[in-house]
């Protein structure tokens, strides 16, 4: 389910976490954050068949909303909508902001373009690292992309700044509704977890459907 659920990424983080560099704390903090996410993702994988129908419906409504947004902005035509513009199942369950997520993905792509060119297998680059970077870009993981930039010896952000961002991400994730719902599963309340997830996704679908209908500004501000 997770684009970061990759043994190669785990090995990369483990190796960098023990090197005496200014970024060691960043790699250790991200490794702990990733472990927390993976634990939840394993649980979500187990219940995915119970919510797949609603997630598919949400994606269809999201597509309609995206087409309307693009038409309004008059930037690209609807036929140019690609899969990477949509939120993943986990991002939807986490109630990620679609626009902010797309901005993060675009930012990652811009930052990592020179690195991807250097890593491209056709140019003699590291195929495994190329794949890891591509997955980080596709998920809009700005902090992980910055970590890859540092590893490549490319100009990157201040490690203390990235460390704080990773810590905040972990705190926010472990305080999120999806983390709390996963805790229900761990405590033997699978049915309650599924009911809550279905209700949350159904509410998202309703809000998205309302957003597809022309509304006065006063109504849209409440959604």
pLDDT digits (tens, 9 = 90+) for 69-91: 777 766 555 555 666 666 677 77
How many residues in the chain? 223
Report the number of distinct structural domains present in the chain.
1
**Is the separation of the CB atoms in 24 and 150 below 8 Å?**
no
The predicted model gives 34-54 an average pLDDT of: 92
pTM for the model: 0.80
pLDDT of residue 83: 64
Q: Distance (Å, rounded) from C-alpha 69 to C-alpha 78?
A: 10
pLDDT of residue 1: 43
**Is the separation of the CB atoms in 62 and 208 below 8 Å?**
yes
| 142 found inside a domain | yes
Q: Which range of residues forms the domain containing residue 165?
A: 7-220
| 98 found inside a domain | yes
């Amino acid at each position: 389910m997770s684009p970061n659920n990759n043994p190669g990424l785990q090995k990369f983080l483990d190796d960098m976490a023990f090197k005496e560099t200014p970024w060691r704390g960043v790699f250790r903090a991200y490794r702990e954050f990733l472990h927390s996410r993976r634990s939840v993702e394993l649980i979500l994988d187990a219940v995915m068949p119970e919510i797949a129908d609603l997630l598919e419906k949400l994606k269809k409504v999201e597509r309609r909303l995206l087409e309307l947004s693009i038409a309004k902005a008059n930037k690209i035509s609807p036929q140019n909508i690609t899969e990477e513009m949509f939120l993943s199942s986990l991002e939807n369950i986490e109630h990620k902001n679609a626009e902010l997520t797309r901005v993060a993905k675009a930012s990652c792509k811009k930052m990592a373009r020179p690195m991807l060119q250097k890593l491209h297998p056709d140019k003699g680059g590291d195929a495994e690292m190329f794949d890891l970077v591509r997955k980080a870009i596709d998920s809009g993981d700005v902090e992980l992309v910055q970590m890859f930039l540092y590893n490549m010896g490319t100009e990157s952000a201040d490690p203390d700044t990235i460390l704080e961002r990773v810590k905040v991400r972990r705190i926010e994730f472990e305080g999120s509704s999806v983390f709390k719902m996963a805790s229900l599963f761990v405590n033997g309340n699978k049915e309650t977890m599924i009911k809550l997830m279905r209700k949350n996704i159904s509410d998202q679908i309703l809000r998205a459907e309302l957003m597809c209908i022309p509304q006065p500004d006063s109504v849209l501000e409440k959604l």
